[in-house]
Amino acid sequence: ETGVTQTPRHLVMGMTNKKSLKCEQHLGHNAMYWYKQSAKKPLELMFVYSLEERVENNSVPSRFSPECPNSSHLFLHLHTLQPEDSALYLCASSQVRGIINTEAFFGQGTRLTVV
Amino acid sequence: AQSVTQLGSHVSVSEGALVLLRCNYSSSVPPYLFWYVQYPNQGLQLLLKYTTGATLVKGINGFEAEFKKSETSFHLTKPSAHMSDAAEYFCAVVAAGNKLTFGGGTRVLVKP
């Protein structure tokens, strides 16, 4: 496989459930990202990991918990979500060289529906 | 600081007509600029990018964009629209020391 792969592609969960989204990149990049894309809203950057260290957390509710065990894998753990959390969740990766960030490569996304 | 503004959240074009999507940016240092395309329920796919050198850059699917520093613009064009161009398009900018910043997106509708 090449590129950025996200699983599952679709997820329906109840508000009391716990689930995880998975992202894997095969590009040798050193930075990974979670974005949230809701209808009629701009892309929202949620978390950034660079060299496996979380470098950005944009005021995301604690019911979203990221994990980056290595430079190729990124998870988003979900618990006690709300219906307004229903969205397309996109994972991306890029190569950061010093202060220069290259373009991001995106996965296909996970369409999350909270019922 | 950096920001991106895409003029027009929706654009409607006839098949065979020119596609023009506008993007203006602000950046305190020389930026890298990108256009992405997103089809329904898909991730974002890179169409083209400008880093340095030639200011007119060609991308996939017949799209091109021109970096105009004096106008702080990076408009995307395609001479002849095809039905398969119906999608949402995002302009993005990154400058040294900053993360990738996206515009609000422009949804393109292609009429037969």
- Each residue's pLDDT tens digit, A63-91: 999 999 999 999 999 999 999 999 999 99
CB–CB of B35/B48 below 8 Å? yes
User: Please, what is the end-to-end C-alpha distance for chain A in angstroms?
Assistant: 33
Task: State whether residue B53 sits within 8 Å of chain A by CB.
Answer: no
Chain-centre distance of CA B73, in angstroms? Answer: 10
- Residue B40 forms contact with A (CB below 8 Å): no
For A90-102, the pLDDT digits (tens) are 999 999 877 677 8
- Cα angle value A109/B42/B9 (rounded, 5°): 115
Which of B99, B101, B102, B106 best tests the A interface by mutation, with the highest count of A CBs <10 A?
B99
- pLDDT band (50, 70, 90) for residue A38: very high
Between β-strands A87-94 and A105-106, what pairing exists: parallel, antiparallel or unpaired?
Answer: antiparallel
**CA-based nearest distance A49→chain B, Å:** 12
Cα A85 to Cα A90: distance, rounded to the nearest angstrom: 13
Q: Looking at residue B15, what DSSP letter applies?
A: T
Give mean pLDDT, residues B97-101.
Answer: 78
Q: A2: pLDDT confidence band, cut at 50, 70 and 90?
A: low
pLDDT at B45 over 80: yes
pLDDT for A56: 77
**In angstroms, rounded to a whole number, what is the distance separating the alpha carbons of residues A94 and A72?**
11
Interface test with A, best of B36, B94, B100, B107 (most A CBs within 10 A): B100
Nearest to B41 among A101, A104, A111 (CB): A111
- Residue B28 DSSP class: S
| Nearest residue, CB atoms, B99 vs list A48, A107, A109 | A48
